[in-house]
């Protein structure tokens, strides 16, 4: 047989409860606290990478770096080809997103031009259509001429260019943070 006792909620007696009921209330409170603590821990674990990603460029601005993209003799004069490299500011958790690319054109014996692959509208990767001698953006129909200037569509300015140099037979691109313009309309 259970004896009824007073229990208090927020410091004042509110109801009569047996020891069994008190134990049940304590167990529920304990489980509630464990659940809240676990949810908090999960939220912190999930939130740290997101906050780090947002703040990283402010805390650790990316310095441009020279990146080798291939030997000079592996590029034909007059050809525009895609070259891959790592973003200069990869974060530990960037994974495959640290990989980026540029369009590289050999214009002379030791002369190259490198265009950003990112459209100046909203950053979609543009592709080079050799037959038309145009860069085309698949997202909203942006079109750029061979020299990177805007031919049609919403891009507000020409494709960004990277500095290029030849160093010990290697073509190197000076990469910086992916160039994107702000959205104006």
CB atoms within 10 A of CB 124: 14
Least distance (Å) from ligand FES to the CB of residue 126?
7
Total residues interacting with ligand FES, rule: CB under 6 A: 11
Least distance (Å) from ligand FES to the CB of residue 119?
3
119 binds ligand FES (CB under 6 A): yes
146-165 footprint of ligand FES as x/- string (CB under 6 A): -------xxx----------
180 binds ligand FES (CB under 6 A): no
* Closest of 78, 75, 83 to residue 100, by C-alpha: 83
Least distance (Å) from ligand FES to the CB of residue 140?
3
Residue with tokens 């895609």: 82
173 binds ligand FES (CB under 6 A): no
Strands 112-116 vs 99-106: parallel, antiparallel or unpaired: antiparallel
Q: Is the dihedral of CA 89, 92, 94, 96 positive or negative?
A: positive
DSSP, collapsed to helix, strand or coil, labels residue 92 as coil
Question: Torsion over CA of 122, 123, 125 and 127, rounded to 10 degrees?
Answer: 60
Phi/psi of residue 31, each to 5°? Answer: -65, -35
How many CA atoms within 13 Å lie on the side-chain side of 15? 7
178 binds ligand FES (CB under 6 A): no
**Which segment (46-54, 66-74, 119-127, 162-170) binds ligand FES by CB under 6 A?**
119-127
Phi/psi of residue 114, each to 5°? Answer: -125, 125
Least distance (Å) from ligand FES to the CB of residue 93?
26
Least distance (Å) from ligand FES to the CB of residue 157?
12
Which residues of this chain interact with ligand FES, rule CB under 6 A? Answer: 119, 121-122, 124, 137, 139-140, 142, 153-155
């Amino acid at each position: 047989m259970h004896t009824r006792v007073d229990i208090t909620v927020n410091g004042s007696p509110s109801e009569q409860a047996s020891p069994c009921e008190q134990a049940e209330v304590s167990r529920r409170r304990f489980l509630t606290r464990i659940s809240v603590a676990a949810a908090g821990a999960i939220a912190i674990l999930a939130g740290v990478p997101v906050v780090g990603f947002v703040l990283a460029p402010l805390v650790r601005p990316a310095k441009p770096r020279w990146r080798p993209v291939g030997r000079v003799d592996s590029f034909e004069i007059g050809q525009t080809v895609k070259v891959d490299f790592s973003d200069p500011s990869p974060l530990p958790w960037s994974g495959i997103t640290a990989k980026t690319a540029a369009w590289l054109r050999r214009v002379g014996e030791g002369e190259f031009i490198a265009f950003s692959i990112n459209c100046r509208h909203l950053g979609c990767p543009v592709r080079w259509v050799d037959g038309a001698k145009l860069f085309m953006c698949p997202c909203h129909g942006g079109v750029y001429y061979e020299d990177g200037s805007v031919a049609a569509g919403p891009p507000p300015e020409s494709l960004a260019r990277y500095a290029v140099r030849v160093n010990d037979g290697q073509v190197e691109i000076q990469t910086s943070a992916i160039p994107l313009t702000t959205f104006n309309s």
